[in-house]
Amino acid sequence: MTEIGSQAKVDSLRHPVATGHPPQLAVIVPSFNERGNIELLYEKLAIALGATAWEMIVVDDNSPDGTAAVVNEMSRVYANVRCIRRFGRRGLSSACVEGMAATSAPYVAVIDADLQHDEAILPQMLEKALAGADLVVGTRFAGEGSAATGLSATRLSGSRLATKMAAMIAGQPISDPMSGFFLVRRDIFENVAPKLANDGFKILIDLIVTSARSGKPLQIAEVPYTFRPRHAGESKMNPLIVIQYLGLWASKLSGGILPPSFLLFGLVGVTGVVVHMATLGLFTYSLGANFVISQIAATMVAMTWNFWLNNNLTYADRRLHGRKLVFGLIGFYAICALGGIANISVASGIYNLDHQTFAAGLAGAVMSSVFNYAVTRAFTWK
């Protein structure tokens, strides 16, 4: 067998693209409905990066507007462009991770498709990485940087708060931990890639915290820029993304002991108690049903509520649809029933020890929550 890279093999496979320079820098562009931006972005990157050997990898979640088709057309003209197209999945962070994992370039940058990030600072970012920084962040909140032109007043204050929260877990000073614009050495990324959370928008802070936790805190440099208004299309930021960020943040605050999905599952459980009580009140007081009937109805409503919310929030990245949704719900009822049995047996066991009603009740509730979390994670949202 000939080795990869042996002269004979290279000669036999010689092809116009293969004769070019291998890329020094891969620019990863996560995209969802960015048809109107992608070509202009490429042109601007080409101007900014000049003679650097670079490639653009667009990671598109099968955008309904046909972004992938535009990128594929571009690939036929520019040899340094390609599209990774994902089906049945959504998510900015996971798109970045998969894009970064798909290149051989020693340096990788992530940039939004909508032209909000100033591509003109990329050469400066690369220079800092070549000079020894592990990670170079484009910042809107230091030096000459600014975000006022690209964010509404509400988004700006939300962004400030998220930035302060991020600073609490980053463990080192960084002015724009929520930035979606950064450049990193690929080996640094690869060290932690399997451990990165895949949901939401917070890839950068996750990269920093996860590296620090693995005992390799990053050398971070920053380059300021002015955040521009979006060119074409709409932002995909939504309340779900904010909640997913809160989940990651709380998880990192716990030292990574409690996974974000467990915290979100718990939060959903708390809302389920409220739904349970409201349904109970409705059945007994407004509809005049007896207690047992009302309690059964409240339990069913609360379980259905919890299932729906977990499907759309905790496990939004692996949301069930169609038949799987129906089977998932039935399975969820069954698992919750088992959780209830676990709850009662643990609680009564503890109660029999020393008759501490609340301690026993709490232990039972914790037991069934952990049980429900672990089992639904293994079977319902696997």
What is the rounded CA–CA span in Å between residue 250 and residue 248?
A: 6
Q: Which is nearer to ligand GDD, 178 or 184 (CB)?
A: 178
CB of 242 closer than 8 Å to CB of 259: no
178 binds, among Mn ion, ligand GDD, none (CB under 5 to 8 A by kind): ligand GDD
Size, binding site for ligand GDD by CB under 6 A: 23
Binding residue for Mn ion (CB under 5 A) from 55, 114, 119, 199? 114
Binding residue for Mn ion (CB under 5 A) from 116, 159, 314, 368? 116
Contact residues for 246 (Cβ-Cβ < 8 A; gap 6+): none
Work out whether 59 is an interface residue with ligand GDD (CB under 6 A).
yes
Binding residue for ligand GDD (CB under 6 A) from 148, 237, 293, 338? 237
Q: Nearest CA to 338 among 290, 376, 287, 300?
A: 376
Give Cα separations from 373 to 327, 331, 335, 350, 368 (angstroms).
17, 13, 10, 22, 8
What is the rounded CA–CA span in Å between residue 154 and residue 184?
A: 30
CB of 42 closer than 8 Å to CB of 36: no
> DSSP assignment of 27-58, as one string?
EEEEESS-TTTHHHHHHHHHHHHTTS-EEEEE
Least Å distance, CB 112 to Mn ion, is: 5
CB of 226 closer than 8 Å to CB of 119: no
91 binds, among ligand GDD, Mn ion, none (CB under 5 to 8 A by kind): ligand GDD
Least Å distance, CB 370 to ligand GDD, is: 31
* DSSP one-letter code for 312: I
201 binds, among Mn ion, ligand GDD, none (CB under 5 to 8 A by kind): ligand GDD
Strand bridging mode 107-110 / 25-31: parallel
> Near ligand GDD by CB under 6 A, which window of 44-52, 231-239, 256-264, 280-288?
231-239
236 binds, among ligand GDD, Mn ion, none (CB under 5 to 8 A by kind): ligand GDD
Question: Within positions 107 to 126, which residues make up the interface with ligand GDD, using CB under 6 A?
Answer: 112-114, 116
Least Å distance, CB 2 to Mn ion, is: 46
Binding residue for ligand GDD (CB under 6 A) from 103, 139, 159, 251? 159
Work out whether 34 is an interface residue with ligand GDD (CB under 6 A).
yes
> Near Mn ion by CB under 5 A, which window of 132-140, 228-236, 273-281, 332-340?
228-236
What is the rounded CA–CA span in Å between residue 96 and residue 192?
A: 13
Q: Nearest CA to 110 among 30, 14, 47, 215?
A: 30
Q: Nearest CA to 105 among 85, 86, 130, 128?
A: 130
Ranges assigned E (strand) in 52-115: 54-60, 81-85, 107-110
312 binds, among ligand GDD, Mn ion, none (CB under 5 to 8 A by kind): none
Dihedral of alpha carbons 67, 57, 60, 42, sign: negative
Q: Which is nearer to ligand GDD, 316 or 347 (CB)?
A: 316
Work out whether 236 is an interface residue with ligand GDD (CB under 6 A).
yes
Binding residue for ligand GDD (CB under 6 A) from 27, 105, 137, 178? 178
Give Cα separations from 240 to 201, 243, 286 (angstroms).
10, 5, 33
Least Å distance, CB 133 to ligand GDD, is: 20
Q: Which is nearer to Mn ion, 116 or 294 (CB)?
A: 116
CB of 306 closer than 8 Å to CB of 274: no
Binding residue for ligand GDD (CB under 6 A) from 23, 91, 272, 328? 91
Q: Which is nearer to Mn ion, 184 or 241 (CB)?
A: 241
CB of 78 closer than 8 Å to CB of 42: yes
Question: What are 336's two structure tokens?
Answer: 């919750």
Q: Which is nearer to Mn ion, 159 or 261 (CB)?
A: 159
The footprint of ligand GDD (CB under 6 A) covers: 30-32, 34, 59-61, 90-92, 95, 112-114, 116, 159, 178, 180, 201, 230, 235-237
* Contacting positions for Mn ion (CB under 5 A): 112, 114, 116, 230
